[in-house]
Protein backbone atom coordinates (compact mmCIF):
# COMPACT_ATOMS: atom_id res chain seq x y z
CA UNK A 1 0.00 0.00 0.00
CA UNK A 2 1.53 3.33 -1.08
CA UNK A 3 1.27 6.04 1.56
CA UNK A 4 -0.81 9.03 0.47
CA UNK A 5 0.41 12.43 1.68
CA UNK A 6 -2.33 14.66 0.24
CA UNK A 7 -5.36 14.57 -2.00
CA UNK A 8 -6.63 17.46 -4.08
CA UNK A 9 -9.61 17.68 -6.39
CA UNK A 10 -7.82 15.93 -9.27
CA UNK A 11 -4.62 14.36 -8.01
CA UNK A 12 -2.86 12.80 -5.10
CA UNK A 13 0.64 13.01 -3.69
CA UNK A 14 1.91 9.61 -2.68
CA UNK A 15 4.98 7.53 -2.00
CA UNK A 16 6.86 6.00 -4.90
CA UNK A 17 6.86 2.33 -5.74
CA UNK A 18 9.13 0.29 -7.99
CA UNK A 19 6.21 -0.16 -10.39
CA UNK A 20 6.42 3.58 -11.22
CA UNK A 21 9.64 2.95 -13.15
CA UNK A 22 8.23 2.60 -16.69
CA UNK A 23 6.07 5.73 -16.42
CA UNK A 24 8.85 7.82 -14.88
CA UNK A 25 11.43 6.59 -17.41
CA UNK A 26 9.07 7.71 -20.21
CA UNK A 27 8.73 11.18 -18.64
CA UNK A 28 12.47 11.84 -18.45
CA UNK A 29 13.06 10.38 -21.91
CA UNK A 30 10.96 13.22 -23.38
CA UNK A 31 13.25 16.01 -24.69
CA UNK A 32 10.58 18.70 -24.15
CA UNK A 33 10.11 17.74 -20.50
CA UNK A 34 13.86 17.97 -19.92
CA UNK A 35 14.49 21.11 -21.99
CA UNK A 36 14.78 23.43 -18.96
CA UNK A 37 16.35 20.95 -16.53
CA UNK A 38 20.06 20.46 -15.87
CA UNK A 39 21.94 20.05 -19.14
CA UNK A 40 18.64 20.15 -21.05
CA UNK A 41 18.99 16.60 -22.35
CA UNK A 42 16.61 13.65 -22.04
CA UNK A 43 17.77 10.99 -19.61
CA UNK A 44 18.14 7.22 -19.91
CA UNK A 45 16.17 4.60 -18.01
CA UNK A 46 19.14 4.02 -15.70
CA UNK A 47 18.63 7.52 -14.27
CA UNK A 48 14.96 6.79 -13.64
CA UNK A 49 16.05 3.66 -11.74
CA UNK A 50 18.52 5.71 -9.70
CA UNK A 51 15.91 8.41 -8.97
CA UNK A 52 13.33 5.89 -7.77
CA UNK A 53 15.92 4.18 -5.58
CA UNK A 54 16.76 7.54 -3.95
CA UNK A 55 13.18 8.76 -3.40
CA UNK A 56 12.13 5.38 -1.97
CA UNK A 57 15.07 5.56 0.46
CA UNK A 58 14.02 9.11 1.45
CA UNK A 59 10.40 8.21 2.04
CA UNK A 60 11.54 5.30 4.20
CA UNK A 61 14.07 7.30 6.25
CA UNK A 62 12.46 10.73 6.66
CA UNK A 63 9.08 10.72 4.94
CA UNK A 64 9.46 13.70 2.66
CA UNK A 65 10.91 13.69 -0.81
CA UNK A 66 9.84 14.66 -4.30
CA UNK A 67 6.47 12.94 -3.96
CA UNK A 68 4.93 10.93 -6.77
CA UNK A 69 1.94 12.79 -8.25
CA UNK A 70 -0.89 10.57 -9.46
CA UNK A 71 -3.85 11.56 -11.61
CA UNK A 72 -6.79 10.34 -9.59
CA UNK A 73 -9.24 9.73 -12.46
CA UNK A 74 -6.86 7.55 -14.50
CA UNK A 75 -4.45 6.28 -11.86
CA UNK A 76 -1.60 7.43 -14.11
CA UNK A 77 1.72 8.66 -12.70
CA UNK A 78 1.91 12.32 -13.76
CA UNK A 79 5.41 13.02 -12.40
CA UNK A 80 6.74 14.47 -9.17
CA UNK A 81 6.45 17.46 -6.90
CA UNK A 82 8.29 18.12 -3.65
CA UNK A 83 11.60 18.75 -2.00
CA UNK A 84 15.08 17.31 -2.25
CA UNK A 85 18.14 18.43 -0.32
CA UNK A 86 21.05 17.20 -2.39
CA UNK A 87 22.43 20.76 -2.67
CA UNK A 88 22.15 21.28 1.10
CA UNK A 89 18.99 23.39 0.78
CA UNK A 90 15.34 22.43 0.66
CA UNK A 91 14.90 22.60 -3.09
CA UNK A 92 11.26 22.43 -4.18
CA UNK A 93 10.72 21.16 -7.72
CA UNK A 94 8.26 19.53 -10.12
CA UNK A 95 8.26 17.58 -13.37
CA UNK A 96 5.27 16.17 -15.27
CA UNK A 97 4.54 14.21 -18.41
CA UNK A 98 3.72 16.55 -21.28
CA UNK A 99 0.15 15.25 -21.59
CA UNK A 100 -0.63 16.89 -18.22
CA UNK A 101 0.71 20.37 -18.96
CA UNK A 102 -1.46 23.44 -19.26
CA UNK A 103 -4.41 22.32 -17.13
CA UNK A 104 -3.49 23.77 -13.77
CA UNK A 105 -2.09 20.52 -12.38
CA UNK A 106 1.33 22.06 -11.75
CA UNK A 107 -0.01 24.66 -9.37
CA UNK A 108 -2.54 22.27 -7.83
CA UNK A 109 0.22 19.78 -6.95
CA UNK A 110 2.67 22.49 -5.82
CA UNK A 111 0.14 23.98 -3.39
CA UNK A 112 -0.55 20.57 -1.86
CA UNK A 113 3.13 19.58 -1.70
CA UNK A 114 4.10 22.87 -0.12
CA UNK A 115 1.44 22.41 2.56
CA UNK A 116 2.68 18.89 3.31
CA UNK A 117 6.35 19.93 3.44
CA UNK A 118 5.66 22.88 5.73
CA UNK A 119 2.96 21.40 7.96
CA UNK A 120 3.46 17.64 8.03
CA UNK A 121 7.26 17.76 7.89
CA UNK A 122 7.96 21.25 9.35
CA UNK A 123 10.41 22.23 6.60
CA UNK A 124 11.32 25.92 6.47
CA UNK A 125 13.42 28.05 4.12
CA UNK A 126 12.26 26.14 1.08
CA UNK A 127 13.60 27.53 -2.17
CA UNK A 128 12.84 26.84 -5.80
CA UNK A 129 15.15 27.27 -8.78
CA UNK A 130 14.55 27.65 -12.48
CA UNK A 131 16.17 28.74 -15.68
CA UNK A 132 14.64 32.16 -16.40
CA UNK A 133 13.08 31.03 -19.67
CA UNK A 134 10.96 28.38 -17.92
CA UNK A 135 7.98 30.71 -17.58
CA UNK A 136 5.51 28.08 -16.40
CA UNK A 137 7.75 27.01 -13.56
CA UNK A 138 8.42 30.57 -12.42
CA UNK A 139 4.71 31.35 -12.60
CA UNK A 140 4.01 28.45 -10.20
CA UNK A 141 6.58 29.86 -7.75
CA UNK A 142 4.95 33.28 -7.95
CA UNK A 143 1.45 31.84 -7.51
CA UNK A 144 2.67 30.06 -4.34
CA UNK A 145 3.72 33.46 -2.99
CA UNK A 146 7.44 33.20 -3.61
CA UNK A 147 9.57 36.08 -4.85
CA UNK A 148 13.01 36.06 -6.41
CA UNK A 149 15.58 35.98 -3.60
CA UNK A 150 18.72 35.27 -5.55
CA UNK A 151 20.35 34.03 -8.70
CA UNK A 152 22.96 31.50 -9.67
CA UNK A 153 24.16 29.34 -12.51
CA UNK A 154 23.80 25.71 -13.43
CA UNK A 155 25.52 24.04 -16.38
CA UNK A 156 26.77 27.52 -17.35
CA UNK A 157 23.20 28.83 -17.66
CA UNK A 158 21.77 31.61 -15.46
CA UNK A 159 19.33 30.49 -12.81
CA UNK A 160 16.74 32.39 -10.75
CA UNK A 161 16.14 31.37 -7.14
CA UNK A 162 12.79 31.95 -5.44
CA UNK A 163 11.70 31.77 -1.81
CA UNK A 164 9.34 33.29 0.73
CA UNK A 165 10.16 36.91 1.59
CA UNK A 166 9.35 36.36 5.27
CA UNK A 167 12.01 33.62 5.47
CA UNK A 168 14.62 35.44 3.37
CA UNK A 169 14.29 39.13 4.36
CA UNK A 170 17.81 39.82 3.09
CA UNK A 171 17.60 37.50 0.11
CA UNK A 172 19.67 34.36 -0.31
CA UNK A 173 23.11 35.08 1.12
C1 LIG B 1 6.59 23.74 -15.70
C2 LIG B 1 5.42 22.78 -15.48
C3 LIG B 1 5.57 22.11 -14.13
C4 LIG B 1 4.11 23.58 -15.52
O5 LIG B 1 3.05 22.69 -15.20
P6 LIG B 1 1.54 23.02 -15.64
O7 LIG B 1 0.67 21.96 -15.05
O8 LIG B 1 1.49 23.22 -17.11
O9 LIG B 1 1.30 24.41 -14.89
P10 LIG B 1 -0.11 25.06 -14.58
O11 LIG B 1 -1.09 24.66 -15.64
O12 LIG B 1 -0.47 24.83 -13.16
O13 LIG B 1 0.23 26.60 -14.81
C14 LIG B 1 0.72 27.43 -13.79
C15 LIG B 1 0.88 28.83 -14.34
O16 LIG B 1 1.95 28.88 -15.27
C17 LIG B 1 1.50 29.31 -16.54
N18 LIG B 1 2.23 28.52 -17.52
C19 LIG B 1 2.32 27.17 -17.59
N20 LIG B 1 3.12 26.80 -18.61
C21 LIG B 1 3.55 27.95 -19.17
C22 LIG B 1 4.41 28.24 -20.27
N23 LIG B 1 4.99 27.25 -20.99
N24 LIG B 1 4.64 29.55 -20.59
C25 LIG B 1 4.07 30.55 -19.88
N26 LIG B 1 3.25 30.33 -18.81
C27 LIG B 1 2.98 29.05 -18.49
C28 LIG B 1 0.02 29.04 -16.55
O29 LIG B 1 -0.67 29.88 -17.46
C30 LIG B 1 -0.34 29.31 -15.10
O31 LIG B 1 -0.41 30.70 -14.84
P32 LIG B 1 -1.83 31.48 -14.65
O33 LIG B 1 -2.57 30.71 -13.59
O34 LIG B 1 -1.42 32.84 -14.26
O35 LIG B 1 -2.51 31.39 -15.98
C36 LIG B 1 5.36 21.70 -16.62
O37 LIG B 1 5.33 22.37 -17.86
C38 LIG B 1 6.52 20.73 -16.62
O39 LIG B 1 6.46 19.67 -15.99
N40 LIG B 1 7.58 21.06 -17.38
C41 LIG B 1 8.73 20.16 -17.54
C42 LIG B 1 9.57 20.02 -16.30
C43 LIG B 1 10.11 21.33 -15.77
O44 LIG B 1 10.46 22.23 -16.52
N45 LIG B 1 10.20 21.41 -14.44
C46 LIG B 1 10.67 22.58 -13.74
C47 LIG B 1 12.14 22.74 -13.75
S48 LIG B 1 12.62 24.23 -12.91
Question: Rounded to two decimals, what is the model's pTM?
Answer: 0.97
* pLDDT at residue 138, rounded to an integer: 98
Domains along the chain with CATH numbers: 4-163 (3.40.630.30)
DSSP alpha helices (H): ranges in 19-96? 21-28, 31-34, 45-61
Residue nearest to atom 16 of ligand 1 (CA): 136
Report CA(159)–ligand 1 centroid distance (Å): 17
Local confidence band at 10 (pLDDT 50, 70, 90 cut-offs)? very high
Residue nearest to atom 5 of ligand 1 (CA): 106
Residues 91/129, Cβ–Cβ less than 8 Å: yes
Q: What is the pLDDT of residues 107-145, one digit of tens each?
A: 999 999 999 999 999 999 999 999 999 999 999 999 999
Please tell me the distance from the alpha carbon of residue 28 to that of residue 96, in angstroms, as a whole number: 9
Residue nearest to atom 13 of ligand 1 (CA): 104
CB within 8 Å of 47: residues ≥ 6 apart: 28
* pLDDT at residue 112, rounded to an integer: 98
Local confidence band at 93 (pLDDT 50, 70, 90 cut-offs)? very high
Ligand 1 pocket, residues with Cβ under 6 angstroms: 33, 36-37, 93-96, 101-107, 130, 134-137, 139-140
Report CA(1)–ligand 1 centroid distance (Å): 31
From the CA of 33, give the closest atom in ligand 1.
41
Report CA(120)–ligand 1 centroid distance (Å): 26
Local confidence band at 2 (pLDDT 50, 70, 90 cut-offs)? confident
What average pLDDT does range 66-76 have in this prediction? 98
Angle at 73 between CA 72 and CA 78, to 5 degrees: 55
What average pLDDT does range 51-71 have in this prediction? 97
Closest among 116, 95, 82, 122 to 6, alpha carbons compared: 116
The torsion angle over the Cα atoms of residues 3, 77, 114 and 110, rounded to 10 degrees, is -160
Local confidence band at 1 (pLDDT 50, 70, 90 cut-offs)? confident
* Residue 160 phi, psi dihedral angles, 5° rounding: -105, 145
Please tell me the distance from the alpha carbon of residue 40 to that of residue 31, in angstroms, as a whole number: 8
Amino acid sequence: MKKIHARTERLLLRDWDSDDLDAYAAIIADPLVMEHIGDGKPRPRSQAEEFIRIVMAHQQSRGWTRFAVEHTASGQLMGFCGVDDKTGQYDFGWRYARSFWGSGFGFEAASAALWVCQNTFSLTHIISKSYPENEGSIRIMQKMGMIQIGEGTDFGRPLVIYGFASEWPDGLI
